[in-house]
Amino acid sequence: MSSETVPVIEALNVKKTYMLGRVPVEALRGVNFRVEPGDFVSILGPSGSGKSTMLNLIGALDKPTSGTLLVDGVDIGRLNDNQLADLRRRIGFVFQFFNLIPRLTARDNVELSMAISDMGKSERKKRAIELLETVGLKERVNHKPAELSGGQQQRVAIARALANNPKFLLLDEPTGNVDSKTAREVLALIENLNKEHNVSIIMVTHDEKLAHQANRTVKMFDGEISSDVVN
Ligand SMILES: Nc1ncnc2c1ncn2[C@@H]1O[C@H](COP(=O)(O)OP(=O)(O)OP(=O)(O)O)[C@@H](O)[C@H]1O
Ligand SMILES: [Mg+2]
């Protein structure tokens, strides 16, 4: 089988139960889900429906309680902590609150994520600048987060997520903390990465309109997938 035919994500009856003291909280109640290379999938659903839980599992930040979750063909339930950490380096994660380091410039924030790679210093610097160009921030490489708008900070976070050539990009409410015009700009960038650079995208959002820009919309309700439609 060629690598192209391996789904990026395959979830088979995935369940996740958190223990809150002695009280179990069933965050995922048996999810079946598949993402093919090049897909752009949005995940919609009310607060508490399990969206972030799902994204954290896909991002190898956590393991399912039961069921099978294959990430790029690898069963994450069988990986030890070191193997999970290796896998995470090949996944681009963009969080709701940008998570940039305030003290560092845009370029240094992007460069930092390449620190564990075997690239030399000058190569990392060159790549960081290229990535910032890709997200339209060529003129802002030396700005610190506080010197950037919300949308620009989110674009730095996206550039950083792309630094290690990830297999796919996970975005948790990437437009949750920016105004609607900026949200449209961030979304245009995400669409461009998907179409022009063939990056597979999984994006959690509360915004129905943004969700329908994706090729597929998955709706979650109470720990289950309630619909999965091609847009
Ligand atoms: N670490 C945890 N310990 C216990 N319960 C948790 C934990 N994380 C999440 N939960 C519970 O699991 C359920 C799903 O949470 P999750 O964060 O996945 O929801 P969500 O769909 O991302 O919501 P939101 O839109 O508010 O971000 C919720 O009922 C939540 O309270
Ligand atoms: Mg969430």
Report the pocket of ligand 1 as residue ranges, CB < 6 Å.
18, 20, 25, 27, 45, 47-53
Question: Per the structure, how many domains does the chain have?
Answer: 2
pLDDT tier at 167, thresholds 50, 70, 90:
confident
Pick the closest to residue 87 from 121, 116, 60 (CA basis): 60
On whether both 218 and 156 belong to a single domain, the answer is no
pLDDT of residue 2: 53
pLDDT in tens, 51-85: 999 999 999 999 999 999 999 999 999 999 999 99
Q: Is residue 191 part of a domain?
A: no
Longest dimension (CA), the chain: 53
pLDDT in tens, 187-230: 999 999 999 889 999 999 988 888 999 999 999 999 999 999 99
Pick the closest to residue 165 from 121, 220, 127, 139 (CA basis): 127
HSE of 210 in the Cβ direction (CA atoms, 13 Å)?
29
Q: Identify the residue whose C-alpha is closest to ligand 1 atom 7.
A: 18
Mapped onto helix, strand or coil, the DSSP state of residue 14 is strand
Q: How is residue 176 written in tokens? A: 């949750």
Q: Is residue 138 part of a domain?
A: yes
Mutation pick for ligand 1 pocket among 29, 51, 170, 204 (CB with most ligand atoms within 8 Å): 51
pLDDT at 4 over 80: no
On whether both 154 and 227 belong to a single domain, the answer is no
If you measure from the C-alpha of residue 186 to the centroid of ligand 2, how many angstroms do you get, rounded to a whole number? Answer: 19
Residue 76 belongs to domain with CATH number: 3.40.50.300
If you measure from the C-alpha of residue 158 to the centroid of ligand 2, how many angstroms do you get, rounded to a whole number? Answer: 18
102, 144 Cβ separation under 8 angstroms:
yes
Cα(61)–Cα(59) distance, integer angstroms: 5
Residue 34's DSSP bridge partners are 10
Domain residues for the domain of 146 are 97-166
| Cα angle 202, 63, 38; round to 5 | 20
pLDDT at 3 over 80: no
Ligand 1 atom closest to Cα of 16? 12
On whether both 71 and 104 belong to a single domain, the answer is no
